[in-house]
């Protein structure tokens, strides 16, 4: 009898899988993650997302179907995702997708997984577009480091008169950005440039003026990078995470110096994401370079997450 019970709780035999209910599948998945040391609420959340993905169900359907059995191929898919998670691969890579601003984005190895905190950036840029006269009718945005395209594609979806150019130096990330732009039907308003912005941006701004500049640059100081969770450290691209210079603020210094010397629209606004505790230093960098209207915007945890400023009239 004891053996029979053990059998019912395993995914074991792929040729003759033991029937598993939705609630068992969910419990087995979260128990395995908790055993790996993952926080209980995170483990439960991941089990729910994995089961929703595999069974193509909405969250409430999981509850309604709690005692229904998974199809054999669904049980197999759950075990396959779990085996990747046990190697500490992020769930989003195992599923090949994630959600940002309510939109679905393809992700995989080589591209940074969009973080919920970054939605603050999108909201701040939307507010800028809606509150600045003329921008709702016509707006040119430049972004450095597009990654999966989560920020810029969300904006293009939400602002029909926005046109954007993005720099993305990583071919893998540019590939995901292109796929996402095509899937979301905004490819005709997005120019993806696979070049270092330091050489590419001066050429581009010689051709037209921009109204907004955005970036979620790598900002984690190199000394802190080794403390990142294994999912991030082992699997996500260091290029998108680890900032330049020992304080990780190299990109902000370059933006502060370089952008005002480019031909831009008068009073173009910059909005950039920040790491925890970087607000004051980043503000000081831009203030010293002559920028105006400096603002720090907090995320839901009260941490300064976005820095916003405008190029002054004089320095354009």
**Of 219 and 307, which has the nearer Cβ to ligand GLN?**
219
Binder among 17, 108, 218, 260 for ligand GLN (CB under 6 A)? 218
**Of 54 and 241, which has the nearer Cβ to ligand GLN?**
241
Among 151, 170, 166, 180, which Cα is nearest to 237's?
170
Site for ligand GLN in 257-286 (CB under 6 A): 273
Site for ligand GLN in 225-254 (CB under 6 A): 232, 241
Is 219 one of the binding residues for ligand GLN (CB under 6 A)?
Answer: yes
Neighbours of 288 (CB within 10 A): 11
Q: Which stretch binds ligand GLN (CB under 6 A): 12-20, 83-91, 92-100, 216-224?
A: 216-224
- The C-alpha torsion from 289 through 292 and 295 to 296, rounded to 10°, is 0
- The C-alpha torsion from 21 through 23 and 26 to 29, rounded to 10°, is -70
**Of 276 and 292, which has the nearer Cβ to ligand GLN?**
276
Taking the complex as a whole, how short is the minimal distance between the CB of residue 142 and ligand GLN, in angstroms?
A: 17
Site for ligand GLN in 100-129 (CB under 6 A): 115
CA distances, 295 to each of 92, 220, 269, 284, 285 (Å): 32, 21, 11, 11, 13
**Of 115 and 184, which has the nearer Cβ to ligand GLN?**
115
- What b-and-e string marks burial along 10-27, b requiring 16 or more CB atoms within 10 Å of the CB? ebeeeeebbebebebbbe
Pair 107, 148: CB distance under 8 Å: yes
**Of 81 and 241, which has the nearer Cβ to ligand GLN?**
241
The β-bridge partners of 292 are: 310
Q: Give the Cα separation of 82 and 77 in Å (integer).
A: 9
Pair 168, 177: CB distance under 8 Å: yes
Among 145, 152, 165, 147, which Cα is nearest to 108's?
147
**Of 32 and 239, which has the nearer Cβ to ligand GLN?**
239
**Of 17 and 279, which has the nearer Cβ to ligand GLN?**
279
Taking the complex as a whole, how short is the minimal distance between the CB of residue 48 and ligand GLN, in angstroms?
A: 22
**Of 163 and 242, which has the nearer Cβ to ligand GLN?**
242
Alpha helices in the chain (DSSP H): 2-8, 22-35, 40-55, 59-64, 72-86, 91-95, 119-131, 150-158, 171-183, 197-207, 222-225, 230-235, 250-258, 279-288
CA distance between the termini of the chain: 80
Q: Which stretch binds ligand GLN (CB under 6 A): 77-85, 169-177, 215-223, 294-302?
A: 215-223
**Of 50 and 241, which has the nearer Cβ to ligand GLN?**
241
Taking the complex as a whole, how short is the minimal distance between the CB of residue 112 and ligand GLN, in angstroms?
A: 6
> With CB under 6 A, what is the number of residues at the site for ligand GLN?
9
Binder among 220, 256, 289, 309 for ligand GLN (CB under 6 A)? 220
Taking the complex as a whole, how short is the minimal distance between the CB of residue 220 and ligand GLN, in angstroms?
A: 5
Pair 115, 261: CB distance under 8 Å: no
Taking the complex as a whole, how short is the minimal distance between the CB of residue 218 and ligand GLN, in angstroms?
A: 5
Taking the complex as a whole, how short is the minimal distance between the CB of residue 273 and ligand GLN, in angstroms?
A: 6
Is 307 one of the binding residues for ligand GLN (CB under 6 A)?
Answer: no
What is the DSSP-derived secondary structure letter of residue 165?
E
- Report the interface residues with ligand GLN, using CB under 6 A: 115, 216-220, 232, 241, 273
């Amino acid at each position: 009898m004891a053996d029979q019970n053990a059998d019912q709780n395993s995914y074991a035999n792929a040729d003759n899988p033991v029937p598993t209910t939705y609630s068992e599948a969910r419990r087995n998945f979260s128990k395995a993650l908790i055993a790996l040391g993952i926080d209980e609420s995170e483990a439960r959340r991941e089990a729910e997302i994995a089961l929703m993905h595999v069974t193509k169900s909405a969250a409430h359907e999981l509850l309604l179907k709690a005692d229904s059995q998974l199809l054999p191929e669904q049980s197999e898919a759950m075990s396959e995702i779990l085996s990747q998670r046990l190697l500490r691969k992020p769930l989003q890579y195992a599923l090949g997708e994630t959600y940002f601003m309510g939109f679905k984005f393809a992700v995989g190895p080589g591209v940074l997984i969009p973080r919920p905190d970054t939605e603050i950036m999108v909201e701040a840029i939307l507010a800028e577009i809606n509150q600045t006269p003329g921008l709702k009718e016509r707006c040119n945005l430049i972004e450095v480091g597009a990654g999966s395209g989560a920020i810029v594609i969300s904006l293009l979806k939400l602002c029909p008169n926005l046109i954007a150019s993005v720099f993305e130096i990583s071919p893998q990330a540019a590939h995901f950005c292109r796929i996402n732009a095509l899937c979301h039907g905004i490819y005709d308003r997005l120019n993806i440039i696979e070049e270092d912005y330091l050489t590419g941006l001066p050429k581009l701004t010689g051709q037209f003026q921009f109204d907004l500049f955005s970036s979620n640059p790598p900002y984690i100081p190199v000394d802190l990078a080794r403390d990142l969770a294994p999912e991030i450290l082992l699997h996500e691209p260091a290029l998108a995470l680890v900032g330049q210079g020992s304080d990780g603020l190299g990109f902000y210094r370059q933006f502060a110096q370089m952008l005002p010397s480019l031909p831009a629209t008068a009073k173009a606004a910059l909005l950039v994401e920040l790491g925890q505790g970087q607000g004051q230093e980043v503000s000081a960098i831009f203030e010293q370079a002559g920028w105006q209207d400096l603002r720090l915007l907090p995320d839901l945890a009260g941490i300064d997450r976005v820095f916003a400023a405008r190029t002054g009239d004089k320095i354009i």
